Structures are given as C-alpha cells and as structure tokens.
Structure 1
Amino acid sequence: MYRKILITSDGSSVSQHTACAGVEFARQMGAEVLVLFVAPEYQYPVYVEIIPPSYPSEDEYVAQMKRIGAENLKPILDAARAHGMVATGTTAFSDATALKIIDVADEQRCDLIFMGSHGRSGWGQLLLGSVTNKVLSHTLKPVLVHRLIGEPAAQGTRDGTREA
C-alpha cells in the first residue's frame, strides 16, 4: 500500500518512541523509510552591532545541527536497517517545521507521513501538537498520527516488563 514513508523526529524521547513505531509500521507495510530531523535556521544576533566571538558562524551552526540531526536519526535508521529495510535520514533547515516536513515528503515522493501527536513541546497539551496540526492542515498526503499513552519511561517493553 505504502512504498515510502516519511518519519519525523525532533530528537525528544517521545519522538524517538514514535519513530520506532513508525519503523515497525513501515516494516509491516514493506515500505522504504525516510527519517527527517528539522533544525531551526541560523539566526544572526540582531540585538548587537558586532557578532560576539563566542557566537557560532553560520557554517559552524549548520555543521553542528547536521551532527545533532545525525545523532538523533542514527538509532532509528539502525533499527530499520536491522530489519533489512531501506532507510535514509536527512536533516533539513527551516523555522516553519510543518511546511518543511510537507515539502520534503513531496520532494522525496513519500506516500505517507508518520509523526507523533506531540513532540518536544510536551505532554501538557490537551490538543494535538502544533506542528502535527499544521501538517494535517496543509498537506493532501495521508498522515498517520501516533500517540503514546504514557510517558516513554513508563511504556512497557515488548515482553510486558517495565523499562527502568
């Protein structure tokens, strides 16, 4: 049914659990996986006339965010590859995260976007997370929204035991 699934991750533990559920879903569908980490764009300090020496250059920032993105995507990609799946990961830059997710899904010809109901913004929200809500509102692609029932540390493992 689905040939290529875009799985989003913001690096939070909630997002990591959701991404692993996405990998399992893709495995069951026999689909290829594209895992996406969206980093904020570089911001020049507008409050000072001279950039402080400790402030990273744009190149340093991009390199650091790509490294952080790769670190966040690695366990997800490793899980997919351990099942023999075709899996790639990418870090994109945008301050409009939802629109970037949609753009990447379109550019990479993904059949489905798999994302969590909430990401880094936390469990305190009663409604759908803002990024998820915006993706749902702005794309014509199917979006599968995964919701964890409890905090990731409280989730049981596959054999029914509790994680520490």
Structure 2
Amino acid sequence: MYRKILITTDGSAVSSKTACAGVQFAEQLGAEVLVLFVAPEYQYPIYVEIIPPSYPSEDEYRAAMQRAGREHTQDVVDSCAKRGVRCEAMAAFHESAAAKIVDVAQQHGCDLIFMGSHGRSGWGQLLLGSVTNKVLQHSRIPVLVHRLIKEPGSK
C-alpha cells in the first residue's frame, strides 16, 4: 500500500505522540520512514540600528536549528530502529513549514504524509492546526492526520 511515509515533528509532545503512532503504522505496512523537522529561516533583526552582540549569526542559528532537528527526530529514529523500520531523518529550513513538508514529500518519493492534529475545534483548530490544514490543502499525496483525543500529560 504505502512504501515511504513522511512523519513530521516539531519537538512538541503532540508531535512526539503522533510520530510514535506513525512508526507503528509504518511497521504494520512494512514501509520506510522519513522523519522531518522544519525550522524557520534565519531572520535578521529589523528596526534596530546595531545588532546586539548576543544575537546569533546566521551560521550559529543554522547550527543550533540543525542540532534541534537532530534532537527532535532522534526519538523517531530510535523507535524505528527498535521496530526494524528503515528510517532517515532530516532537518530543513523554510518560512512555510507546510510548503516544505509538501515539497520534501514530493522530492523524496513519499507516498503518504503522517502528521498530527490537536483535536481541537473552533479557534483552537484555526490557530493550532494551521500547518496541518495547509498541508491538506496543498499536498498531492494522501495525508493521514492522527488526532490526539487528549493532550499528552493531561489526565
């Protein structure tokens, strides 16, 4: 059915739970996984005449985001290894996480995008599900949205 599944993560508890479900799904199908972390592009400070010395350079920012990407994707890589699921991890930079997710899925030959939703409605869905909604609008491949019934850590 599906041979290569793109699983997205932003390091949050919601995306970690979703990624675990995505790995289980991939294992059931015998599919491989590409796990993706998308960081925003570097932003030069605006409205200041002198850049503060504590403000990171573009190279420092990119290195920090690459490290964050490795940290956020490592749990998925480890989970795949335990389950015998072939996995590749990557971090990417783009102003629109949704656009990058769709682009990476296409470039890497993924046939499914697996991502999470908070399960909220109304304004909560509008504010917190915007990346998922944009991926659903722009993807040409199927998108499986894993909805969490309750927030991680809640009773």
With structure 2 as the length reference, what TM-score do the two structures score? Answer: 0.93
Output one character per residue of 1:94-118: Cα deviation in whole Å (capped at 9) or x when no partner.
1111000000000101010000014
**2:111, 2:125 → 1: CA distance?**
29
Q: Residue type of the partner of 1:14?
A: V
How far apart are the structure 2 equivalents of 1:153 and 1:46? Answer: 38
Q: Which amino acid aligns with 1:109?
A: G
| 1:106-138 C-alpha deviation (Å, 9 max, x unpaired) | 01010100000149xxxx714571100000001
Conserved? CA contact 2:118–2:149, under 8 Å: no
Aligned to 2:39: 39
**In the TM superposition, what is the alpha-carbon distance from 1:76 to its structure 2 partner?**
1.0
Equivalent in the alignment of 1:125: 124
Counterpart of 2:59?
Answer: 59
How big is the shift at 1:33?
A: 0.3
Q: What RMSD, in angstroms, separates the aligned Cα atoms of the two structures? A: 2.0
Letter in 1 for 2:84: G
More helix as a share of residues: 2
Secondary structure of 1:113's aligned partner: strand
Is the contact between residue 118 and residue 132 of structure 1 (CA under 8 Å) also seen in structure 2?
Answer: no
User: Which SS does the other structure have where 1:133 is aligned?
Assistant: helix
Cross-structure match for 1:146: 146
Asked whether the equivalents of residues 97 and 131 of structure 2 are also in contact (C-alpha less than 8 Å), the reply is yes
Tell me which amino acid in the other structure corresponds to 2:47: Y
Q: Look up the equivalent residue of 1:27 and give its one-letter code.
A: E
- SS of the counterpart of 1:17? helix
Q: How many residue pairs align between the two structures?
A: 153
Deviations 1:15-69 (CA, angstroms, capped at 9, x unpaired): 1000110000000010000000000110000111222111100000000000011
> Aligned partners of 1:139, 1:151: CA distance in 2, in Å?
26
- The corresponding residue for 2:75 is 75
- The one-letter code sitting in structure 1 at the alignment partner of 2:21 is A
Query: For the Cα contact (< 8 Å) 2:20–2:79, is it kept in 1?
Result: yes
The runs of 5 or more residues in structure 2 that have no matched partner are: none
Runs of 4 or more consecutive aligned structure 1 residues displaced over 2 Å after TM superposition: none
Listed as ranges, the gaps of 5+ residues in structure 1 are 156-164
Alignment of 1:106-121 (within 5 A): 106-118=106-118
CA deviation after TM superposition for structure 1 residue 147, in Å: 0.4
Q: Partner amino acid for 1:125?
A: G
Partner SS for 1:10? coil
Structure 1 window deviating more from structure 2 (41-50 vs 55-64): it is 41-50
